[in-house]
Structure 1
Amino acid sequence: MNSSIINSVIENFRQALISGVDQVENSYEIYQREANYAVSYDDYFDDWAQCLWELLVERTICSPLERITVYGAGSDYNPNQYSHVFFQEVEESHEIICRVKKGLTAVDVITGKNVELEEYQFMRFSAFDGTWFKLSRPFDHVQLDERDAFGGHYQQILIPLNLVEFEVIKT
């Protein structure tokens, strides 16, 4: 695992999201018109983002037997078996976590409250529309989901990207 370059590798991934989202939206419109069974845009986007994640992040920092937890909801292209696109037989061994940059405080833009990032897991990059997150440019916020939530009810938070840095930990 080459974790020393994680922040630059993730920024490269985010830039790929920014530069490619228009093409994904256009492709989805065509797909929706032509497909007999069209999945939601979010599912379509998640499949694309998971492919990028595995190519631009995992392949850059992981050895062949290492795997990072899925990006966002992962890929549902093959929903009966895997959330990963490539090397599906390799088990997840590492997780990307967010840490608050030194001297700063993590504030959830949805609630306006300070939060402890250790209680949440990194999910994806999103934008903030004033009340909630959305999968669109500028992907300048980090969406995190509450860890160890019971009964399927969990809190989602949205933190401005400029408040965090990324780290890789073993799961």
Structure 2
Amino acid sequence: MKAKEISYVGLFAALTAIGAQIAIPIGTVPITFQVLFVLLSGLILGTRLGFLSQLVYLFMGAIGLPVFANFSGGFGHIYGPTGGYLLSFPVAAFLAGLISEKKKDIKNYAIGSAIGILTIYLLGWLRLGFFMGGDFEKAFLLGVAPFIPIDALKGGLAVLIADRVHKSIKI
């Protein structure tokens, strides 16, 4: 890997950690800006570097660095009720990057963002449902439904930022 690529990976891992600290607690799963930076890592860095940035973020949190919501860390978060959301981040970044790499335009950024958000919802909802003893309806109501409007806004913002970045600089 080139030094520039390592820097981008580190930057987006750090941005995701910062996004985790901008949190609004609404129950089991808080509203944070992690999703915005997960999407941006894929849309801007592409599949490989976006995936790696989120893997670095998860590794930092797993070893105990306080990068998860509320300045927390540790493997227990990955295993806990919100672990599915966390584990989905590298996959979501990869898929957002995969779609947007085909053609760097608003349409593909929007599709990539939507697929990234759906991936986060699916894996997060499944883990939360298992954690709640198989009550997937309750898990959906607590861990997905309240986030749809705000994540749609974050997805739209990610599309606009990615478009602007790609028009301004070559990554």
After TM superposition, the score normalised by the length of structure 1 is: 0.30
Which structure shows the bigger proportion of residues in helix conformation?
2
Over alpha carbons, which structure has the higher Rg?
A: 1
Which structure shows the bigger proportion of residues in strand conformation?
1
